[in-house]
Amino acid sequence: MERTFVMIKPDGVQRGLVGKIVQRFEAKGLKIVAMKMRTLPLDVAQEHYVEHREKPFFGDLVDFITSGPSVPMVVEGKDAISEVRKMNGATNPTNAQPGTIRGDFGLDMGRNVIHGSDSPESAQREIALHFNEAELMGYTRIDETWLYE
């Protein structure tokens, strides 16, 4: 099983989409192994988006992600990274397919509702940035035998 980092951004929280988004992951068969609500501190936000530090939109990105509460979580399942990215849809909601989270709920490139790790390395780094080991729950869902061969 693979773990990935997902964060419902402040626009998703403010629009009351947390439950709808979490329900999609659970209905897919992915398991939530950590989740909390928090307003990201500036240093955590800057480290989260470190790969964009030299880009002109870095300041706006950090300002937005620290503007209100977000819901970081760790999601686990077979091919979780690629599955979550497919479910999230294209980064720019205008290019996201209907049925994806961004296609259904995203309105603007800068307000695209959700973040998901793009690689195993990013997932590992982002999980460690937002959660300590004690916050990650290991458990077996009752339906797992029906989800995987």
Alpha-carbon torsion (111, 112, 118, 123), positive or negative: positive
Q: Which backbone phi and psi does 108 adopt, to 5 degrees?
A: -155, 150
Judge whether 34 lies within some domain: yes
> In whole angstroms, how large is the CA radius of gyration of the chain?
15
Model confidence over 68-123: pLDDT tens digits?
999 999 999 999 999 999 999 999 999 999 999 999 999 998 899 999 999 999 99
Judge whether 65 lies within some domain: yes
Parent domain of 90: 2-136
Judge whether 146 lies within some domain: no
Span 44-57, mean pLDDT? Answer: 94
Structurally, the chain folds into a number of domains equal to 1
Question: Does pLDDT of 4 surpass 90?
Answer: yes
Judge whether 47 lies within some domain: yes
Pick the residue with more confidence: 70 or 145?
70
Judge whether 54 lies within some domain: yes
Judge whether 90 lies within some domain: yes
Judge whether 142 lies within some domain: no
Residues 145, 135 contacting (CB under 8 angstroms): no
Judge whether 143 lies within some domain: no
Catalytically active residues are: 115
Please report the pLDDT score of residue 99 as a whole number: 97
Span 116-138, mean pLDDT? Answer: 97
Long-range interactions of 23-29: CB distance < 8 A, separation 24+:
24/87, 24/101, 25/75, 25/84, 25/87, 28/77, 28/83, 28/87, 29/77, 29/143, 29/147
Whichever domain contains 40, its CATH number is: 3.30.70.141
Please report the pLDDT score of residue 70 as a whole number: 98
